[in-house]
Amino acid sequence: MTRPSEQLPHPPTGTDRTARRLSRRTLLGGLAAGSALTVAGCSASSGAPGNKKHVEVYVWTNGPAIDANFRARVQMFNKHFAGKYSAHINFLPYDQFWQKVDLQYAAHKPFDMYYWDVQAYAQYKRGLLQDEESVVGKSGITDPAKYRTQLYDPWRFDGKNLYVIPDNVQSMALFYNRDHFDDARLSYPDPTWTYDRVIETARKLKKTSGAKVTRWGFDVGDLGGTWWGIQTLSWAAGTAFVDRPLEPRKFRFTEPANVAALKFIQDLMWDEHIAPRPDERAAIGQQNGGFQSGTYAMTPVGTWNIATYKQMKGNWAMTSLPLYQGKSIAPYWLGGWVIPKNSPALSAAQAFATWSATTFQEQMAKDHDWIPLQNAARESAAMLKGMPRGFADAMKKLPEARIGDIYTQNMQKIFSEPFANSIEQLLARKVTPHAAAKQMQDGATELLA
C-alpha cells in the first residue's frame, strides 16, 4: 500500500503530486495530526472480539485506478467466500485516516480491520493489536520456500510474533525516461551504475533554452526530503540514522558518513545543479511538471510510482538504485492488514487478510498496483508482463534491502518536525549539512527521550 511521505519541502503538483501523495509518504499535516492525537480511555481491555461474518475493511484512498482494484479485490473475496464471509471496503483521506482509527479505539468501537502504516505501531504498544502468528503460520505465509519470510522480521515487534498480516512489498528504484536517453544517444542505466555516472550522464541530459532549463538530467526525488531515501546513502556508507530500527536508543545524524550523505544531496542541487533546487522544483510543480511530464530524465523514487507512471505518454524504465561508495542498498516496506485484538469481525478479517496474502497473490501480480509477497506471483510471467524494463533487476535487491521504517511511538513527530524542517533548510542551502545534522540530532534525541 502506498503511503504519504514524511515531507517534501516543495511538494509536486498534478499527477506527480498525486503519485507522491499516494506514495508511502506526503501530507505532513496528516502525519502530525495522527501521531499527536491523544486517545483517552484507549486500552487493550476496551470491548471484546466479535464473530461477525461480514467485515468492514478500511484503507486510505489511493486514486481511481488503485481504489478500483481494491473494490475488485473485495468482490473476488465475496465470491470466493460466498455463504461464509462477506466484505465491504471503506476509503478515507489519509489526513483523516489515523485520527479516525484512534477515535474508534477511544469509543471502544475499533474498526474490523484496517491497512498498516507506521502509526499503527503505537497501537501495538498500547496492546490493541491481535497477535497473528498462529493464523499466519496456518496460512502458509511463513513458508520460506514460498515467501521471502526474512522480510517479516521487523514486524515481529516482540521478537517472535507477527502483529500485522503482510500481503505485499514495496521498494525504491531509479526511474528514467528512455526517450531522453535515446534522444541523447546514451546507454540506459543498469545495476552497475554509480552515482558518479548518474551525475556525469545527467549533465549531458540537461537541456536549456536561454536561461531556462527545459529538461533536468536528474531530480532528487525521494533521495532528498524523505528520511528513508537519504538513509539509503547512509546504509551504503556503512551506517544508518539510528542504532536499530525497532525502538532505537540513539540517533546518528551527526556521524561523518551521514553528514556526507546530506552534503551529497545538497551538492546535486547547488554545486552540480543537475537537479532543480527547491524554488525550481516548486515552479515545475505549479506547471504540472515532473517525471511524468518529461521534465526529469532520472529520479530515485518508490516502486509504488509504477502504477502512476504507466499513464505516461513517453517511454520509461527503471533499475536498481545506483552504487554509492561501492554499494547499493534499497529500503523495503511491507504492506498488510492490522486487526484489532477486539475486532468485531475477527475471523472474517483474518480470512480476508490471509486470502489476500495467498490466493489473491496471482491476481495482485496481474493488477500491477502492489508487488506480491509470494515468490511465485512476484516472479511470474503475469507480473513481469507489462512491467517496466529493469523491474526484475530492482527486485533482485530485496534480499539485501533494509526495512524503510523506524518503529517507536514518537517517530512520526520526529520526522515531521526536526527532520523535515532541517532538510527543508538543507535543500534550500540555508544551513550547512553539519548544521542540519546537528539540528536533527538534537531535536530527535529530545523527542526520543
Quote the pLDDT of residue 1. Answer: 52
Angle of helix 256-269 relative to helix 433-448, nearest 10 degrees? 130
Residue pair 71/448 in contact by the 8 Å Cβ criterion: no
Average pLDDT, the chain: 89
Q: Tell me the C-alpha distance between 97 and 115, whole Å.
A: 10
* Per-residue pLDDT tens digits for 99-155: 999 999 999 999 999 999 999 999 999 999 999 999 999 999 999 999 999 999 999
Residue 35 has pLDDT above 60, yes or no: no
Residue 220 has pLDDT above 70, yes or no: yes
| pLDDT band at 40; cut points 50, 70, 90 | very low
Q: Give the chain's length.
A: 449
Task: Convert 386-421 to b/e letters by CB count within 10 Å (16 or more is b).
Answer: ebbebbebbbebbeebbbbbbbbbbbbbbbbbbbbb
Residue 355 C-alpha cell reads as: 486470502
| pLDDT band at 48; cut points 50, 70, 90 | low
Residue 293 C-alpha cell reads as: 511530464
Domain ranges of the chain: 14-24+172-329+407-448, 37-170+335-378
- In the block, residue with C-alpha cell 518503529: 407
- Cβ atoms < 10 Å from Cβ of 23: 23
Residue 36 C-alpha cell reads as: 499527536
Residue pair 357/166 in contact by the 8 Å Cβ criterion: yes
Percentage above 90 pLDDT, the chain? 79
Q: Tell me the C-alpha distance between 195 and 322, whole Å.
A: 5
| pLDDT band at 24; cut points 50, 70, 90 | very low
Fold identical between 14-24+172-329+407-448 and 37-170+335-378? yes
Q: Pairing relation of β-strands 54-60 and 86-92?
A: parallel
Q: Which of 224-233, 383-392, 429-438 has the highest mean pLDDT?
A: 429-438
Quote the pLDDT of residue 83. Answer: 97
- Cβ atoms < 10 Å from Cβ of 84: 10
Residue 382 C-alpha cell reads as: 503475469
Residue 386 has pLDDT above 70, yes or no: yes
Average pLDDT over residues 37-49: 44
Please determine, looking at this structure, whether the domain spanning 37-170+335-378 carries the CATH number 3.30.2080.10. Answer: no
Name the class of domain 14-24+172-329+407-448. alpha beta
Average pLDDT over residues 307-330: 93
